Amino acid sequence: MADNDSFRDSLNKSASFPKSLVYHRAYEHVLEAHVDRLNEQDDRLFSCEDKTNLELWEYGAQSTGFKSHHFNNSTQLRNHFVGGQLFAEVDPQCRFMFVHAAHSRAKLKVTRYMLTVALTYHQAMAPFVDFLFSFGKQEYPRDFHFSGFYHETHLNNDQPNLHLPDLGRSGTDFKMCYNLKSVEPSSSQPHFPWSVRQLAVYHSFDVVTGKAFWTMIKGDELIKQRIKAATNPDNHPNLDMSSAAQAFCVALTVQLIIFDWCREQWRWYISYLEGLQEITTCRALTMRFDRPSARPAQPSNISPPRAATTPPGKIKRAVTRIFRRASLAIRTLSPSIPLAPILHPAAPPPEFEPDFESTELFSFSDLQNVQSYEEKVSELLLVIRSNIKIVSDIKAYYMDLVASTNFPDEIKTGCSSKIRDFEKTVFSIVNDLEMQHSRASMLLSTLTNRKGLLNGALNYCNMEASKRFAEKAAASTSEMQIMTEEMNALAQKTKQETVSMRIITLVTLFFLPGTFISTIMSTDILQYSKIPDTNNFKEDYSSTALKRYATITLPLMAMTFAAWAWLYLTATTRRGGWSLHSSVLVKSAKTTIFEGSGGSTILGSLDDTGSQSKGNAKCRLGRLMQKRVSYLKMQSGISASQELHTAFQTLVSTESQRGLLVTIEKESLVPSAILSPSTGSFTSDLSLLTPHITPKTALYIILRRYETSSPAPFVAITYVPDAAPVRQKMLFASTRLTLVRELGIERFRESIFANREDELTEAGFKKHDKHNELEAPLTEEEVSLGEVKRKEAEEGRGMSERKSHVSSGVSMPITDDALAALKSLASGDGEGDNLVQLKIDIPTETMELASITSTPIESLPTTISPTEPRYSVYRFAHSHNGETTSPILFIYTCPSGSKVKERMLYAASSRSAVQVAEAEAGLKIERRIESSSPEDVTEESIMEDLHPKVEVKRAFERPKRPGRR
């Protein structure tokens, strides 16, 4: 009766399972830890009562076959176990309890109380709780590498056990719990249609009464369906479990069903990985990367045939047209002047344009995929090895159990053939798993080798791309040199022809008066006729002829001058527009120009998204030559007046003034208006500009945009509207640098050019600030060349430095408690805590606090997590050469077993973690240490890093002379 009372009390305390067990072999602190973990992960593991579905598959005590019972709440389940009165009915001969979920990463369809009631009623082993935490709601598989097998044997009276004859429990039984893993097809992952699934099993068997209890926990219902099919009375009408021997045979059959599940799909999963490996890496084996040997290029003073060279681009065609027009103009003035012969480079070697269409099939994503496959195969090896170990241990346990002298002879005799079949079948299953393990080992070796080959192919492609860019740059330089020499020769010819034109002009002016008089004298206006029979001449003057001459000539002269003036003004307007727009950011054409101290350099054009248009330097130069773009590098000679200096000094010292307007009068910069009063808000004060902005008048605007305490609080704005006169545009564009330089360039943070009124509004300044935040535009070749140089630098540094291939750094937010822990470490008020460990929450990408402890240097390798990456900030108090110091160390550890996403995210965010520790927490990081394992972070390695030994070089000692024999 004492056992009955103990069992009743245990059942009343089932909510505290496994502490509610009557007899157990675990320590009290272990049971407390199990209960605490269940409390912490209750919401993740179990569903609410309205979403439960627990099934019991029972073989009744009256041998009526298996029947199914479903329960949706704890009351129904408890009533089924206890009934109207506890100990009124015996347990069924065999009972299966199936616990499943919607899918492998969802909550179990059972409440915690329902599960603990069932486990307490059957006095399940406490270690079975360890296997529960691998299930439940989770984003990534939990405890993927955790496996175990526990058992208890009660065949004699040496160990206490419950004796409950009213329930049909003799107290002579054995119990076991274990977990196995297998791979199953998964339709929820179209990119990778396989998933490793887990199964947790608990089993107890009474060797006297033959009563058996099973608990199966799995994400889906596959095992439940197979066990029900093997024990269904419709399929097996002769199934009998009335005796202990028959029940033991059924138990061995169920074990074989579970063992067969853990080995059946590995063959096809490994074949799938082998196919992925071949698809991703076979190209690295078949592709040829040999580069033909280069032939030295010999210069030639004869241009090579057109078919043997690179076709001329836009630059060469544009310059050729210019040269052709210039030469035609020169031939009309003077005979041609021979030019010095120009050497043309020979045709480039055949490998100048290597075929990279094939090699473009390789990318860094291929290397990432191979790394992912390699990790999956490594996990596969570990899972298969753990399955082999557990299956072998269970077989050995059964063999030892049957060989025990305390095991009933009835079961030994009645199940002898079944035991032999069980042993042979398990041996076959283990052999099959061993074979798949060997296949996976070979696949892992192949993946490792292929990854190295693929990495080498990518590096080779990068080097070839670098060589290709270098060859193109050399060819472009040669063409530019030829063009420069030709343009120099053209300039010399133009100079000579200019001298000839001056001479012609002087001669024309010399004869112009005489020509004019001769023309007048040859008309009918004034004639001299000889008087007959005398030697005298008579002068005949005709005023009518003079009037007609003036009437025709003067209008024609006026029309000629008017036509010339119109053509001149048109040409000047066009040239002025190009000159102006080449020195500013023209919003309509999206042309970006970046000014330096010595002038302006046009780097390219931006499309609507802000990215730089493609094309190399030759195309850009050709466009500039065709459009006649030029920048007014020469200043206008206009200077700032004394009134402007005085007004600007007043603006600097008076915060109530927002800005100053400047214009050009009488070739001098003078103030035109003061923008006041200032309201304290820059955007609100922009309305002060409205009365002074007109669509046809250029203006300089000086605004106080930043705090007066900053070294450069002002911005200089050159407002030149498109409708302004051409001369005003040229003057304001060429004088803008003079304005800033004379007033003090150190006082201006930036210089802005505007040509529309909406650019001087709040929206216009926001658009300007957004444009300034963009990175400097680069051509596609410059970006690729920079990436190649970065990778070459990484190869030169070797493997001692970890660097993310994603980016140079990722800004990672940090939680308040983590930041508070870092500040506590910086201030030293953490009550002796000297180690702060930070981790990254992968779903939210947030840096959070893992732990803060007081850890001596000897315990540091064991305190840092050996399974997950960590950022550890450690204050190392030590003495060296009689001096006591406490430097702050930043330790980044990334175990080799970490996931790919974790390694990439931690590596990319390490710089952000250091910046947060220094900038926000006030820590001064003395040393940064990176290691793949916390075991490598020892006191000796840290001391060597902080205080490297100075190597004393000894002078060369001359060896002693050998003695005489």
CB 941 within 8 Å of CB 903: no
Is residue 182 predicted with pLDDT exceeding 80? yes
CB 476 within 8 Å of CB 484: no
Question: Which segments of 301-414 does DSSP mark as H helices, in order?
Answer: 314-331, 364-403, 409-414
Mean pLDDT of 751-762: 89
Q: What are phi and psi of 886, to 5 degrees?
A: -135, 70
Q: How far is CA 685 from CA 502, 700, 704, in A?
A: 58, 17, 10
CA distance 248 to 320: 99
Same fold, 639-772 and 816-946: yes
Query: Dihedral of CA 395/398/399/400: which sign?
Result: positive
- Amino acid residing at 867: T
CA distance 388 to 385: 5
Question: In which band, very low, low, confident or very high, does the pLDDT at 707 lie, cut at 50, 70 and 90?
Answer: confident
Please tell me the number of Cα atoms within 13 Å of 412 on its side-chain side. 11
* 127-141, 435-449, 467-481, 828-842 — most confident range: 435-449
Residue 5 has which token pair? Answer: 């009372």
CA distance 827 to 924: 11
pLDDT score of 127: 94
pLDDT score of 598: 36
For 34-48, write each residue's pLDDT tens digit: 999 999 999 999 999
549 burial level (CB within 10 Å; 0-12, 13-18, 19+): middle
CB 529 within 8 Å of CB 380: no
For 282-330, write each residue's pLDDT tens digit: 877 776 665 554 444 444 444 444 444 444 454 555 545 555 554 554 4
Nearest CA-CA partner of 638 in 670, 606, 615: 670
CATH homologous superfamily of 1-239: CorA soluble domain-like (3.30.460.20)
Mean pLDDT of 631-642: 65
pLDDT score of 359: 46
- Amino acid residing at 845: E
Is residue 698 predicted with pLDDT exceeding 70? yes
Q: Sheet containing 659-664: which strands, arranged edge to edge?
A: 639-640, 668-675, 659-664, 699-704, 714-719, 748-754
Q: What number of other Cβ atoms are within 10 A of residue 672's Cβ?
A: 16
* Per-domain residue ranges of the chain: 1-239, 364-521, 526-566, 639-772, 816-946
Question: In which band, very low, low, confident or very high, does the pLDDT at 829 lie, cut at 50, 70 and 90?
Answer: low
pLDDT score of 257: 95
pLDDT score of 62: 65
CB 333 within 8 Å of CB 497: yes
- The CA R_g of the chain, rounded to the nearest whole Å, is 46
- Enumerate residues 6+ apart whose C-beta is below 8 A from 84: none
CA distance 644 to 876: 61
CB 240 within 8 Å of CB 264: no
For 78-106, write each residue's pLDDT tens digit: 888 887 788 888 889 999 999 999 888 88
3-state secondary structure of 588: coil
Phi/psi class of residue 722: alpha, beta or left (left: φ > 0; alpha: ψ in -120 to 50)? Answer: alpha
Tell me the CATH number for domain 816-946: 3.40.20.10
pLDDT score of 356: 47
Is residue 960 predicted with pLDDT exceeding 90? no
Mean pLDDT of 419-447: 94
Question: Which segments of 404-415 does DSSP mark as H helices, in order?
Answer: 409-414
Mean pLDDT of 355-373: 70
Domain 639-772 has CATH 3.40.50.300: no
Q: Quick check: bond before 677 cis, omega within 30?
A: yes
For 649-695, write each residue's pLDDT tens digit: 998 888 888 899 999 988 889 999 998 888 878 888 888 888 889 88
On average, the pLDDT of the chain sits at 80
> Would you list the DSSP string of 213-226?
EEEEEESSSHHHHH
Length of the chain: 965
Question: In which band, very low, low, confident or very high, does the pLDDT at 26 lie, cut at 50, 70 and 90?
Answer: confident
Is residue 737 predicted with pLDDT exceeding 90? no
Question: In which band, very low, low, confident or very high, does the pLDDT at 334 lie, cut at 50, 70 and 90?
Answer: very low
Question: What is the 8-class DSSP label of residue 920?
Answer: I
CA distance 149 to 203: 12
Q: Quick check: bond before 869 cis, omega within 30?
A: no
Residue 962 has which token pair? Answer: 């050998």
Mean pLDDT of 812-832: 82
Name residue 925's beta-bridge partners: 888
pLDDT score of 416: 92
Helix axes 900-915, 364-403, angle to 10 degrees: 120
Beta strands in 912-957 (DSSP E): 925-931
pLDDT score of 301: 45
Parallel, antiparallel or unpaired: strands 888-893 and 66-71? unpaired
Residue scoring higher pLDDT (573 or 211):
211
| Helix or strand (DSSP H, E) at 132 | helix 128-132
- Enumerate residues 6+ apart whose C-beta is below 8 A from 578: 627, 628, 629, 630
Nearest CA-CA partner of 344 in 295, 389, 308: 308
CA distance 391 to 388: 5
Question: In which band, very low, low, confident or very high, does the pLDDT at 536 lie, cut at 50, 70 and 90?
Answer: confident
For 771-812, write each residue's pLDDT tens digit: 888 776 777 667 767 766 666 665 554 444 444 344 445 678
CA distance 675 to 659: 5
CB 219 within 8 Å of CB 197: yes
Question: What is the 8-class DSSP label of residue 524?
Answer: S
Nearest CA-CA partner of 936 in 850, 849, 872: 872
- Amino acid residing at 62: Q
Is residue 422 predicted with pLDDT exceeding 90? yes
Is residue 624 predicted with pLDDT exceeding 50? no
- Enumerate residues 6+ apart whose C-beta is below 8 A from 854: 831, 832, 833, 834, 835
pLDDT score of 308: 41
Percent of the chain with pLDDT over 90: 31
pLDDT score of 954: 59
Is residue 616 predicted with pLDDT exceeding 80? no
Question: In which band, very low, low, confident or very high, does the pLDDT at 495 lie, cut at 50, 70 and 90?
Answer: confident
Q: How far is CA 240 from CA 63, 224, 419, 729, in A?
A: 7, 20, 18, 106
3-state secondary structure of 181: strand
pLDDT score of 108: 94
CA distance 636 to 607: 33
Percent of the chain with pLDDT over 70: 80
pLDDT score of 513: 87
Nearest CA-CA partner of 297 in 346, 336, 366: 346
Nearest CA-CA partner of 369 in 458, 499, 463, 255: 458
pLDDT score of 338: 41
